[in-house]
A and B are shown apart, each in its own frame.
Chain A
Amino acid sequence: MNDKKKVLVICWMLAGIAIVIASLLLDSSLMGIALGLSGGMIGSALVFSIKSRKSPEQLRADEKRLEHIRKDERKIMLRDKSGRYAYIIGMVCLLIITTVFFILRNLGIVFSVDTMISVYSAFVIFEYVLGMVIFSYLEKRY
């Protein structure tokens, strides 16, 4: 890991720690999301620094391999295709979710904001997993 990346990783981790301290001291209603964000920042900084503990030759070989995967035209095509299919399926799912919420609301069933946040958060995870599943399927087909 070069010096610039080291500085960025350290700053990222310190920012995460600062958010933890601030959220614990200030005791705000946003404490939950702040702790989640800081956990992600500290975790990702730790993972990055552990993964970077390789020899320069290993890092160069990894970088070369990743560059091949990034620039490989077939993989680019598969990523584009799987993204398009995930987008279409995602739009249909959003339409269905919104319609269901609308119907249930008009039937007198009241939803809390928490329920809607949970449903839409689950949708985001579903969309991410869907993209990966479609990519795997297309990779075997093409």
Chain B
Amino acid sequence: MRNHIEMLRKANGVTQEELAEALEVSRQTISSLENGRYNPSIILAFKIARFFNKAIEEIFVYEEGLV
């Protein structure tokens, strides 16, 4: 699943470490999310959306066949 996490993170001036700390996950998880290697659970997706003050659909792009 494609996402805009890296773009939003950089726009907000947040490091991967800081984002990981805020979301209570490891830095490797943030890296995997940004590279699209890992799809988050619904709970983590909500946490990310809340952190950036955006809707989930604005951050994650769901396309058939890509998941």
Residues 51-77 of A at the B interface (beta carbon under 8 Å): 68-69, 71-75
Residues 80-135 of A at the B interface (beta carbon under 8 Å): none
Q: Is A4 an interface residue (CB 8 A)?
A: no
Q: Is B25 an interface residue (CB 8 A)?
A: yes
Q: Which residues does chain A contribute within 8 Å of B43, judged by CB atoms? A: 73
CA distance A68 to B30 in the complex (A): 13
Q: Which residues does chain B contribute within 8 Å of A142, judged by CB atoms? A: 32, 37-38
CA distance A71 to B25 in the complex (A): 7
Shortest C-beta distance, B52 to chain A (Å), equals 19
Interface residue count for A (Cβ, 8 Å)? 10
Shortest C-beta distance, A80 to chain B (Å), equals 13
CA distance A75 to B28 in the complex (A): 9
Residue of A nearest to B29 (CB): A74
What 0/1 pattern do residues 22 to 48 of A give for CB contact below 8 A with B? 000000000000000000000000000
CA distance A71 to B47 in the complex (A): 15
Known: A141-B37, A142-B37, A142-B38. A71 touches B32 (CB 8 A): no
